[in-house]
Amino acid sequence: MPAPLRLPRSPTTRVEGVDAARGIALVGMFVAHVAPAVEQADLAAVIAFADERPRLLFALTAGIGLGLMTGGTQATADPASRSALRRRIAIRGILLILLGLAVIAYLRPLVFVILDVYGVAFLVMLPLLFLPARTALGAGIAGVVIAPIVVEAARRPPVAMGSDGALGLIPEWFLIGAYPVVVWVPVMLIGVGLARAGIHRPEVIARAAAASALVAVFALTSAAVLARSEGTVPRDAPVGGNVVLAASLQTAGNTAVAVLLVAATMTLTAFAVPRVRRVAGVALSPITAMGSMPLTIYTGHLVVIANAKTVRPDGVVTDDSWPLLVGLIIGSAVFAWTWRRFLGRGPLERVFGWASGWGRSGAGRRS
């Protein structure tokens, strides 16, 4: 009689540091989506900080989540279990694509929607889910360096790919959209590599933080120097050496910042002395709650901003508003904290878990 299929069991508690980092990414997206333009240089710099980094932080935590749900430091080895895990993740990816396309078609928010691209990235990750730590990290780091070069080449002359026609979504998803999968997947691979190396181990987090700090300082400083020397390069300008180098450095630096943020939240919630952990746990609990139900919070915020459009005196339709931004952050935090405190998993997380055959009992899930 064949042995019963055994999938990795989910613990009843989540990895709080990963959830906190994901919650920070959600807040960053809120800022990027609805913060009004400002003239003050300092405030504008803070808003600009939320332009690309939150999306890369989101991809990184998604990769960590995939690494944890496929076995953590000990990747699931049984072929039948691997097939079942891939099937469930594939179903989730397809559902995300359908949800994203539905949001775009029916809500028409004035922002780029992440959900469908997120689902495509899940599908691309299927053959890469069980890579060992060093392979995942090496492939991810190489991809983070190379992928932005490919993206810039695809967006600019002489290639200048378009997204028209029935198949226009394909280049939009993979290369020329706001969230190109060729960049997302390497960042997710770095997340898988961190999970395989042992994100719960202080020494792993310390090494990741030290390496990321060096990369962030070098890459972002170098990218800034190139930007000052080149000035603003029009989007229709031909691709050149400095353009692709700056894109590569910027993505590498922003990914390093994302790793640093995960290292910081893991340190505060798991590795600091008990008193610091307690204080950090309480202080971060609303953000952590948001990060524990990212699908619910992200989709909910799209519903809100789609219904918050206004027309400016110059006739431009906008959803930018400081009150809306504050309301999104506070409202999402209060909702997530309350729901998690009394009901556990987020509502959309429950639906997707049930539909993919994972978590139908409503038990807690790994981050």
CB 309 within 8 A of CB 41: no
A 10 A CB-CB count for 220 gives 17
Q: What token pair was written down for 135? A: 């392979």
Q: Torsions phi, psi of 318, nearest 5?
A: -145, 160
pLDDT at 116: 94
Residue 350 CB coordination number (10 Å): 18
pLDDT, position 4: 42
Residue 365 banded pLDDT, cuts 50, 70, 90? very low
Q: Which of 27, 98, 14 is nearest to 326 (CA)?
A: 27
Burial of 289 (0-12, 13-18, 19+ CB in 10 A): buried
Average pLDDT, the chain: 86
Position 175 scores a pLDDT of 86
Q: Give the model's pLDDT for residue 58.
A: 94
**pTM strictly above 0.85:** yes
With tokens 């590498």, the residue in question is 252
Segment 332-359, tens digit of pLDDT: 999 999 999 999 999 999 999 999 886 5
Give residue-wise pLDDT tens across range 68-118. Answer: 999 998 888 889 999 999 999 999 999 999 999 999 999 999 898 999 999
Res. 166: pLDDT tops 80? no
User: Are the CB atoms for 57 and 258 separated by under 8 Å?
Assistant: yes
> Mean pLDDT lowest for which of 42-51, 144-153, 172-181, 195-204?
42-51
Question: Quick check: 75 and 201 in contact, CB under 8 A?
Answer: no
Q: Quick check: 286 pLDDT over 80?
A: yes
3-state secondary structure of 317: strand
Report pLDDT for 182: 95
Range list of β-strands (E), the chain: 310-311, 317-318
Contacts of 277 (CB under 8 A, 6+ apart): 268, 269, 270
Interval 223-277: pLDDT, tens: 888 877 765 555 555 555 677 788 899 999 999 999 999 999 999 999 999 999 9
What pLDDT sits at residue 361?
Answer: 40
Half-sphere exposure of 135 (CA within 13 A, CB side): 7
8 A C-beta contact, residue 129 and residue 70: yes
Which of the 8 DSSP states describes residue 318? E
Calpha distance 195→226 (Å, rounded):
34
The residue among 93, 118, 13, 88 whose CA lies nearest residue 358 is 88
User: Would you say residue 143 has pLDDT above 80?
Assistant: yes
Burial 157-183 (b: 16+ CB within 10 A, else e): eeeebeeeeeeebebbbbbbbebbbbb
| Residue 318: strand pairing partners | 310
Beta bridge partners of 317: 311
